[in-house]
Amino acid sequence: MSIRSCVECGKGVKSLSGLSRHLDKCPVLAGKKKRGVDRDVGDRRSSGETSPYRSQPAENDETEDIEDGDWIDIVEDDAPRPLSTCQNQSRLSTTASIRIESYEEVTGKKAGQAFDDTDNINHENGRQTPKRPRGDLSTYLPFQSATDFAAAQWFLRAKCTKGDIERFYGDKRLEPMHKLLSFSSHDELLRKIHDIPYGIPDDVWKISEIQVEQDIIGLPSSTYDIRYRDIKSVLEFLMGHEPFEHHLSYAPVRQFSGTSSDNRIYDEMHMGDWWWTTQGEIPEGGTIIPVLLASDKTMLSLHHGDQAAWPVYITIGNLDRRTRRKQTVPGLILLGFLPITSETAENSRARVYHAAMELILKRE
């Protein structure tokens, strides 16, 4: 990338817009204007004899010597950044012209088709049956109104104790406010909070046994307990989590830099050739959900310093990589635990691993 510099003071800038802002505050140019030289400078610009900047290679321009007091904060040009199908900004250069080809435009086939919210696919007979209208569900469920929900939220954020809440309900002067709420005590408030639907619906951890044969003939099979979640429920949660709405991709695309097809851009998983090719192997309108698994042995130092666990985490390729890596959102979910084996033979450990993964990934 070329670094431009002002011909008046020699300061380096990164873009034409940055150069324009710098020229407005250039101390050398300002001094010339005071001496009446600004007219000559304007004549040179209008005639095109000399450019107000010169381009130099980045390695030849010592931009590190620029002092903070004299430096004008330069930002990138305001050109639109390339967008993926989930409307996430890419970290690509803003100077490049991005061209996007959708799967439907190129092949004429639909992909990632969305169904109407009032319909639900019945997989048993292949027809659509109506869902329960969303109007039947309160936005503030299990609270009865916005006021009811706001009061519970205020009690929690204010860190009110059980005694504080009981005194609130014991004050007869506040009875008109009491009638607006669906709970009348601290215990009722906690029960309602615990009834708030969140996370994976019907989330239940399962415990199953696997038996693995020994390499040595005559030895009994080893038995291991496997703890895991239903993978189908986890995938449905990741695809349906409302905060992920603008971070999910449902169909493949191709991105190119410029008008040529030679400079292909691979920024997210749905931009790869594998997704594009596999899309043609599934029913038209369908959505591919790439399952990504990760596992690493972990010591349970918080509660059991001498205990070890081998957690298995799951995420999906439809979710953009930035969201998947965030620690503050449930982009990576704990799916289960692999057993810690005492097997010494490599083949026996491999059989334990594959038997456990087969159970965890089995759709029930």
For 7-21, the pLDDT digits (tens) are 677 677 666 667 777
Confidence band, pLDDT 50/70/90 cuts, at residue 113: confident
Of 173-177, 213-217, 291-295, 336-340, the poorest mean pLDDT is in: 213-217
254 contacts 271 by C-beta, under 8 angstroms: yes
Find out whether 360 and 231 touch, Cβ atoms under 8 Å: yes
Q: Name the band, by pLDDT with cuts 50, 70 and 90, for residue 63.
A: very low
What's the domain range around 18? 2-65
Query: Per-residue confidence at 258, pLDDT binned at 50, 70, 90?
Result: confident
SS3 291: strand
Indicate whether 116 pLDDT > 60: no
Residues 290 and 321 reside in one and the same domain: yes
Least confident of 155-169, 291-305, 327-341: 291-305
- Asked whether the predicted pLDDT for residue 246 surpasses 50, the reply is yes
Beta partners for 337? 227, 311
pLDDT for 35: 59
The residue among 223 and 126 whose pLDDT is bigger is 223
The better pLDDT of the pair 59, 16 is held by 16
Same domain membership, residue 348 and residue 231: yes
Residue at token pair 């007869």: 172
Whether 232 and 313 share a structural domain: yes
CA separation for the pair 5, 61 (Å, rounded): 8
Helix 38-47 and helix 27-34, axial crossing angle in degrees, nearest 10: 110
Residue 37 lies in a domain: yes
Question: 280-309 burial, b if ≥16 CB within 10 A, otherwise e?
Answer: eeeeeeebbeeeeeebeeeeeeeeeeeeee
69-82: pLDDT as tens digits: 333 333 333 434 33
Q: Does 19 or 256 have the greater pLDDT score? A: 256
Closest-CA residue to 53 (of 27, 25, 15, 79): 15
More reliable by pLDDT, 250 or 347: 250
Do residues 220 and 244 both lie within one domain? yes
Residue 44's pLDDT band (cuts 50, 70, 90): very low
Minimum mean pLDDT among 88-102, 202-216, 282-296, 341-355: which range? 88-102
pLDDT at 219: 77
Domain co-membership, 185 together with 217: no
| Pair (323, 244) in one structural domain | yes
Between 91 and 247, residue with greater pLDDT: 247
Q: Are residues 33 and 171 in the same domain?
A: no
Own/partner long-range contacts of 205-209 (Cβ < 8 Å, ≥24 apart): 205/229, 206/230, 208/359
- In a domain? residue 32: yes
User: Position 146: which residue type?
Assistant: A
Secondary structure, 3-state, 173-217: HHHHHHCCCCCCCHHHHHHHHHCCCCCCCCCCCEEEEEEECCCCC
Comparing CA positions, the residue from 75, 57, 58, 67 lying closest to residue 9 is: 67
Q: Do residue 210 and residue 351 come from a single domain?
A: yes
- Of 14, 44, 65, the last residue of a domain is 65
- Same domain? For 183 and 291 the reply is no
pLDDT tens track for 95-110: 458 889 999 999 999 9
- Is residue 339 scored above 90 in pLDDT? no
Query: Which residues contact residue 198 at a Cβ distance below 8 angstroms, ignoring those fewer than 6 apart?
Result: none
The token duo for 305 is 């310093």
Q: Is residue 214 part of a domain?
A: yes
pLDDT at 15: 67
pLDDT at 306: 57
Torsion of CA 175, 181, 182, 183, to 10 degrees: -70
What is the per-residue pLDDT for 201?
Answer: 78
Quick one: 210 and 190 in the same domain? no
H or E element at residue 239: helix 231-240
Beta bridge partners of 304: none
Q: Are residues 184 and 224 in the same domain?
A: no
Average the pLDDT over 345-349 and give the result.
77
Q: For residue 219, tell me if it sits in a domain.
A: yes
How many domains does one find in the chain? 3
| Positive or negative torsion for Cα 322, 324, 326, 330 | positive
Question: Looking at the predicted structure, is the pLDDT value of residue 234 above 90?
Answer: yes
Can you say how many angstroms the Cα of residue 132 is from the centroid of all Cα atoms in its chain?
Answer: 29
**Measured CA angle at 180 (ends 175, 186), to 5 deg:** 75
Same domain, 20 and 161: no
| pTM reported for the whole predicted model | 0.58
